Amino acid sequence: MTVAAAAQEPDGLHVTFGPDGHQAVFTSSWLAGYAVPDVDQRCEDAKRLWSARDFPSGPPVTSWPAYASNDAVRLRCLRDLLSTGFMLLSGVAAKPGAVAEVVASFGYIRETNYGRLFDVRVEATAANLAFTCLPIGPHTDNPYRDPVPTVQLLHCLTNSADGGESGLLDGFRAAAQLRAEDPTAFDRLTSTPVTFGYADATTDLQATRPMIGLNSAGLIREVRYNSRSMRPVRPRSGTSPAEAADQMREFYVAYRTFAAILMRPSLTLRFMLRPGDCVVFDNTRLLHSRTGFSAAGGRHLQGCYADLDAAESTVAVLARSCRRRAS
């Protein structure tokens, strides 16, 4: 099939197909519906970058019953997830497995070697820092996966411990801050491949990516930051010992500069998760953390992973449905 001729008309585009001469008119409104967005929807230009100062009253909270029963509320919350990188729901049943209902409202569980769901609580023989009462610095989860789970959920079942405050940090905002303050460090972290790894008796995972990922237009699109799973950086092949030493020194100086930005209190939004609260966030962008807490109190979160493409699809379908009801 070939296009024999195409002519712009007031109501759209008139196309004659060859060789049979079939004619079709594509209206302006139809063509507009299939226009390719000017901006990569996953990159910094499509997001609302923020610091803790932008939420003086804490993170916005939406009740689960309102979210689950009202399409307009669910659409608003999911748009917040895509724009600011997170949403916080209250009143989710504080029972094991309820986090799966939250995922089902916009997508599907991404099962990993940690299972469909995983529990975050103190264990006597902890194999992970998350299963202790110690503080955990800002990080993204599973940077050793390719692809990385793009959405994470944490649902609070019980919390009677002293401490254990949760934190969220906009990694795109922090990376943009690094670019503004130290362009050389930014260039180093966007161009140096970093290997992240995880291994146990049944799993051996590795992924190699820059700590700050850019799209083809040079815009920030991903942050992978997890000091506990980062492997030592290797020099580029074929370099002399002196050049290798310089490359490694430059990387670690840039890494330290970025880490110092991430530790600025003004960037981390802190809040306490109460039973029934469920936080949902973009794991390719937001870093999460927690303060230490007393082992004497009970603190039990249940989590899982999901993916942004399902949330994006649900937003598109809900928006279409809301437009139809409004017309």
Would you place residue 219 in the very low, low, confident or very high pLDDT band (cuts 50, 70, 90)?
Answer: very high
3-state secondary structure string, the chain? CEEEEEEEECCEEEEEEECCCCEEEEEHHHHHHCCCCCCCCCCHHHCCCCCHHHCCCCCCEEEHHHHHHCHHHHHHHHHHHHHCCEEEEECCCCCCCHHHHHHHCCCCCCCECCECCEEECCCCCCCCHHHCCCCEEEECCCCCCCCCCCEEEEEEEEECCCECCEEEEEHHHHHHHHHHHCHHHHHHHHHCCEEEEEECCCCEEEEEECCEEECCCCCEEEECCCCCCECCCCCCCCCCHHHHHHHHHHHHHHHHHHHHHHCCHHHEEEECCCCCCEEEEECCCEEEEECCECCCCCEEEEEEEECHHHHHHHHHHHHHHHHHHHC
pLDDT tens sequence across 130-172:
888 899 999 999 999 999 999 999 999 999 999 999 999 999 9
pLDDT score at 322: 86
pLDDT score at 216: 96
Would you place residue 2 in the very low, low, confident or very high pLDDT band (cuts 50, 70, 90)?
Answer: low
104-113, 225-234, 288-297: least confident range: 288-297
